[in-house]
Amino acid sequence: MRAIVQRSRHSRVVVDNVEESHIDKGLMVLLGIKKGDRQRDADYMMDKIINLRIFEDEAGKMNRSLLDTGGSVLMVSQFTLFGDARKGRRPSFTEAEEPARAEALFDYCVDWLRGRGLNVGTGVFGADMLVAIENDGPVTILLDSQRNF
């Protein structure tokens, strides 16, 4: 499982010219699910995301987490995070999980976050979406459940 986590002032997802979800201050998470990912990968990633100390404290240092700030999460499924472009010019997505399994694990992640009392918005799984992110900082963190980076 991979995630691009961005500290956001405002983010939103639009599908077919209709806003599906938006957040103000919080985290924009683009989440990719790899073949073979399990709930333990999701548990690790969601715990890591909500406890990342990437929000500023009173001294201006990145020392506070999403839990500390009470921010929201906008999470969008992003199978292209497992695009492999090492050969040729067209990425291969063979490492991305099959849609039905990926959607179930994505939903598990959303439920996990909501179960901790967080306000969580999502896109529409498998839809063609427009995602607007106002990256605050900018702060962008890459996470991988296999700890590849």
Q: Which residues have a catalytic role annotated?
A: 78-80
Rounded Cα distance between 31 and 96, Å, is: 11
In contact, 133 and 11? CB cutoff 8 Å: yes
In contact, 101 and 94? CB cutoff 8 Å: no
Rounded Cα distance between 74 and 67, Å, is: 15
Quick one: which H or E segment has residue 20?
strand 18-23
Rounded Cα distance between 72 and 136, Å, is: 14
